[in-house]
């Protein structure tokens, strides 16, 4: 009897069409399982590709195959239970758990249940035992978990490669015996590996009824003719195994990666770590298909060049770390984060970073050329700007900060030198070298040490970042407020830190100096807005960026009312001390006159 196996699940095994989403992982799949010459089909296979994008982001998509041991009457129950329970329990694990931790926890529990069930019912030689192989696709990585002699193959660029190792040994009669399987022992030793995946990668999962009888070349030939009909291709492979006199159940599952999201920051870092820092370049030098037209900057931390793409004739900015940083992992980590952040941000107010050639051996960034002058130069050219001019520029900077906030990033180095005023008046925020990617911070892969010196210029860095290396969007707001203050007054709101010394910066006294001291003609409500935006305590700043923009444009009656209710010493300390000094002076003069008269 040659019966196709139907999975008793609401998870379909055939998905000839896959909805494409440019920013999500997409897979297409199909499978076939035949009873073959056995009395029952003890194989099981399943694919779960969540419709929920959130679930897909956090947990990924799963393809599983299992083969219950033929010597047991309970092989079918073991294989069916394993694939169904694994999928169900894996997606129930906390989103904060890694793929490895989640899968290992589920498989360990599943193995214990299978083994203990056999022990309790006295089925030690006829127990719930099954092979198990699964691929979990998450972002740009395939996570493989395997125990037994089912297999996982990768078909890429015309070549078939076996990814798993069979856990079996041969007896004297050349019969195979499993050495590892789910439910075989109370302790589980499962193989785990990760693999970077590429667009159009085709994964093939098989039970031994296929690969023990069908030569790899025959499988390769069939996959080379694959035309996108997943179920049909799986059926063909299974029937070819039957034609090669397979005596076991026969199962094959095909899964193809049809769309890849941007790699996660962690994946991106891992890929860049294998690349070499290029030597310092000169005009006319070539790296990959980019020719150096001009050396813009050559420093101890980085080298910046104007290059031409010889393929497109397009000018680009190429930035590479200095060879001095080879043994400085924190500096290189910042470079990785800068490149990943720039590639994943798409906002006209932020400098765009483009992908480098995927097969390049060198570590560098490609950025859009940005013409114009720095905000620092603009401030030199406009020492007494109109308030509306400042508002126009700052409102654009806030747009850039909002874009970072939506991407859960913090710039951490906003200063006049990192803001370009373009010829048409638009601004562009550059240099993401100090960017904080919150996703990496949560995973711990780039978490700053409390003793690590903060990145950026000390005069523009928020106190909480200086003191404890903690930065949020409110920290970027502090920097924007300081820049706004300096544009209006030519000075800083707090005492200037003359050195970049962390020790000096951390001992800064945060005594705000009113803009009215510089120019009494400024409206008081504007001073209240800046004071709140660059308050030393982040909890006292604006919680929403739009509130700062609104108050920077029109008076906030609430702030003015709060000011009026404060004692004169808090409301206007300078005026208070002037009045007190005047009063003391009058008293002193009065006492002197009384002494003279007496």
Residue range 563-589, pLDDT digits in tens? 555 554 455 566 656 776 777 778 778
Cβ atoms 391, 383 nearer than 8 A:
no
Contact 339, 268 (CB under 8 A): yes
Overall CATH class of domain 269-367 = alpha beta
What is the model's pLDDT at position 4?
39
pLDDT in tens, 172-211: 555 678 899 999 888 999 999 999 999 999 999 999 999 9
Per-residue pLDDT, 560: 58
Find the helix or strand (DSSP H, E) in which 441 lies. helix 438-443
Radius of gyration of the chain (CA): 33
Rounded to whole angstroms, the Cα distance separating 561 from 540 reads: 16
The reported pTM is 0.61
Residues of the chain with pLDDT under 50: 1-14, 16-19, 442-451, 568-569
DSSP letter (8 states) at residue 192: E
Tokens of 212: 């023990």
Listed by start position, the domains of the chain span 26-261, 269-367, 373-565, 567-598
Helix 230-243 vs helix 216-224: angle between axes, to the nearest 10 degrees?
150
CATH no., domain 373-565: 1.10.510.10
* d(C-alpha 110, C-alpha 116), whole Å: 10
Question: 454: which DSSP letter?
Answer: P
Residue 398's pLDDT is: 96
Note the pLDDT of residue 334. 81
CA distance 43 to 5: 8
Determine the Cα–Cα distance for residues 110 and 89; give it in Å rounded to an integer. Answer: 9
Q: Read off the tokens for 489.
A: 């007054």
Q: Is the dihedral of CA 45, 50, 55, 58 positive or negative?
A: positive
At 265 the pLDDT is 66
Question: Rounded to 5 degrees, what angle do the CA atoms 468, 474, 475 make?
Answer: 45
Fold of domain 26-261: Phosphatase 2c; domain 1 (3.60.40)
Which strands sit side by side in the sheet containing 26-34, from one edge to the other? 26-34, 250-259, 202-206, 151-156, 159-162
């Amino acid at each position: 009897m040659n019966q196709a196996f139907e999975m008793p699940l609401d998870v379909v095994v055939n998905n000839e069409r896959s909805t494409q989403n440019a920013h999500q992982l997409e897979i297409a799949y199909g499978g076939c399982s035949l009873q073959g010459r056995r009395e029952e089909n003890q194989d099981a296979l399943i694919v779960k590709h969540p419709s929920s994008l959130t679930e897909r982001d956090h947990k990924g998509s799963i393809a599983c195959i299992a083969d219950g041991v033929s010597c047991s009457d309970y092989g079918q129950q073991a294989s069916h239970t394993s694939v169904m329970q694994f999928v169900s329990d894996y997606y129930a694990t906390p989103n904060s758990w890694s793929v490895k931790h989640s899968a290992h926890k589920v498989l360990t529990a599943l193995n214990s249940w299978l083994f203990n069930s056999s022990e309790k019912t006295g089925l030690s030689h006829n127990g719930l035992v099954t092979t198990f192989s699964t691929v979990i696709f998450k972002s740009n990585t395939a996570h493989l978990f395997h125990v037994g002699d089912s297999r996982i193959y990768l078909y890429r660029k015309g070549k078939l490669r076996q990814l798993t190792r069979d856990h079996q040994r041969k007896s004297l009669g050349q019969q195979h015996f499993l050495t590892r399987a789910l439910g075989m022992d109370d302790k589980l030793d499962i193989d785990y590996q990760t693999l970077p995946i590429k667009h159009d990668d085709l994964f093939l999962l098989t039970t031994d009824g296929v690969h023990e009888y069908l030569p790899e070349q025959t499988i390769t030939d069939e996959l080379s003719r694959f035309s996108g009909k997943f179920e049909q291709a799986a059926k063909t492979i299974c029937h070819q195994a039957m034609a090669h006199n397979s005596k076991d159940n026969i199962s094959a599952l095909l899964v193809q990666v049809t769309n890849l999201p941007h790699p996660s920051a962690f994946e991106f870092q891992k890929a860049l770590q294998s690349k070499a820092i290029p030597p310092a370049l000169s005009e006319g030098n070539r790296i990959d298909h980019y020719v150096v037209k001009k050396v813009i900057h050559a420093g101890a931390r980085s080298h910046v060049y104007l290059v031409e793409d010889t393929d497109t004739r397009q000018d680009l900015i190429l930035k590479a770390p200095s060879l001095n940083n080879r043994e400085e992992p924190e500096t290189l980590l910042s470079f990785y984060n800068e490149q990943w952040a720039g590639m994943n941000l798409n906002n006209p107010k932020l400098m765009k970073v483009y992908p480098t050639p995927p097969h390049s051996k060198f570590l560098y960034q490609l950025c859009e050329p940005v013409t114009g002058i720095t905000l620092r130069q603009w401030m030199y050219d406009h020492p007494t700007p109109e308030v509306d001019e400042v508002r126009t520029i700052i409102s654009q900077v806030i747009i850039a900060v909002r874009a970072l906030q939506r991407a859960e990033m913090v710039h951490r180095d906003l200063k006049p030198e990192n803001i370009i005023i373009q010829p048409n008046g638009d601004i562009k925020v550059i240099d993401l070298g100090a960017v904080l990617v919150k996703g990496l911070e949560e995973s711990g892969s780039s978490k700053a040490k409390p003793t690590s010196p903060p990145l950026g210029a000390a005069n523009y860095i928020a106190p909480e970042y200086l003191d404890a290396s903690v930065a949020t969007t409110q920290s970027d707001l502090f920097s924007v407020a300081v820049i706004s203050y300096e544009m209006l007054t030519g000075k800083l709101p707090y005492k200037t830190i003359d050195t970049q010394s962390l020790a000096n910066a951390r001992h800064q006294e945060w005594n705000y100096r009113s803009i009215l001291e510089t120019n009494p003609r400024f409206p008081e409500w504007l001073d209240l807005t800046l004071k709140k935006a660059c308050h030393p305590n982040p909890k006292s700043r604006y919680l929403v960026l739009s509130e700062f923009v609104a108050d920077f444009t029109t008076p906030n009656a609430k702030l003015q009312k709060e000011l009026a209710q404060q004692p004169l010493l808090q409301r206007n300390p300078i005026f208070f001390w002037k009045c007190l000094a005047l009063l003391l002076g009058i008293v002193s003069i009065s006492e002197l006159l009384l002494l003279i008269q007496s």
